[in-house]
Amino acid sequence: MISRRTVNKIEKEARTYFLKAFSCHDWSHIERVEKLALHIGKKEKANLEILKLAVILHDIGRKEEMESKGAFCHAEKGAEIAEKILRRNKIEEDDIQNIVHCIITHRFRNNHIPNTIEAKALYDADKIDSIGAVGIGRAFLFAGKIGAKLHNNKKIDIRKTEAYSEEDSAYREFIVKLSKIKDKILTREGKKLAKIRHNFMAEYFKILQQEVDGKR
């Protein structure tokens, strides 16, 4: 059993990696993912102690990824940093390996596949936080940061536009990325939540277009 004192100590250190973080991936993202992951974890009978620590640490490599302009994968870098933190705090070896696995697989890329229920719960929670009302909000935050339009011209094929351009709107994010999230979710409970959030997004962008066209 991992003590509350140890968890609090690790969380305090993890928070230092989010100082001045962009609001799409600041500490509030960790808090939302934690709530989602623990909800999914309870339903799926995951080890919640392992899952909580994995959530706390899963994005600590993101700052280095941003500073390197993508030269580092934040999941891989985060797993490397997290392992050192966990060892300093004398976490048991089996628990360290499970937590590190959760972190390195939460992107599900580069052949890093979530194999434990804890890893699947973290992966799902992280992806679900990018959709629904929160996902729309995050998409508009990002669009505003890069100077993208509020909405796109219907005559433009949005799939042929470029990321980080003025056409990289919240709607473009929905079409090219967010609309596909629900089909990538791994757990039964995660699929239920993702479906609800997906349907909300689809309805929202339908209404947005109606308003842009003056039909609502």
d(CA 16, CA 147): 29
- Do residues 59 and 81 both lie within one domain? yes
Per-residue confidence (pLDDT) for residue 63, from 0 to 100: 65
Q: What is the pLDDT of residues 158-174, one digit of tens each?
A: 888 888 889 989 999 99
In-domain check, residue 31: yes
- Residue 141 Cα distances to 135, 174, 175, angstroms: 10, 13, 17
- At residue 23 the predicted structure's pLDDT band, cuts being 50, 70 and 90, is low
- Do residues 74 and 160 both lie within one domain? no
- Residue 171 Cα distances to 65, 85, 149, 193, angstroms: 26, 39, 10, 21
Q: Which one-letter amino acid corresponds to residue 141?
A: L
Per-residue confidence (pLDDT) for residue 70, from 0 to 100: 53
Q: How many residues does the chain have?
A: 216
Calculated CA dihedral for residues 59, 7, 96, 120, nearest 10 degrees: -50
Q: What is the pLDDT of residues 55-95, one digit of tens each?
A: 999 998 876 555 545 556 787 888 999 999 999 999 999 99
d(CA 22, CA 18): 9
In-domain check, residue 147: yes
- Its domain, for residue 202, covers 132-212
The residue ranges of DSSP E strands in the chain, in sequence order, are none
In-domain check, residue 127: no
Per-residue confidence (pLDDT) for residue 100, from 0 to 100: 97
CATH number at residue 174: 1.20.58.1910
CATH number at residue 101: 1.10.3210.10
- Do residues 28 and 103 both lie within one domain? yes
Last residue of one domain, picked from the residues 69, 87, 122? 122
Give how many domains the chain has, as a whole number: 2
**Average pLDDT value for the chain:** 91
Per-residue confidence (pLDDT) for residue 13, from 0 to 100: 96
Which comes out higher in pLDDT, residue 77 or 190?
190
d(CA 213, CA 61): 42
- Do residues 92 and 175 both lie within one domain? no
Which comes out higher in pLDDT, residue 19 or 206?
206
Last residue of one domain, picked from the residues 122, 150, 184? 122
Q: What is the pLDDT of residues 97-129, one digit of tens each?
A: 999 999 999 986 667 899 999 999 999 999 999
- Do residues 202 and 141 both lie within one domain? yes
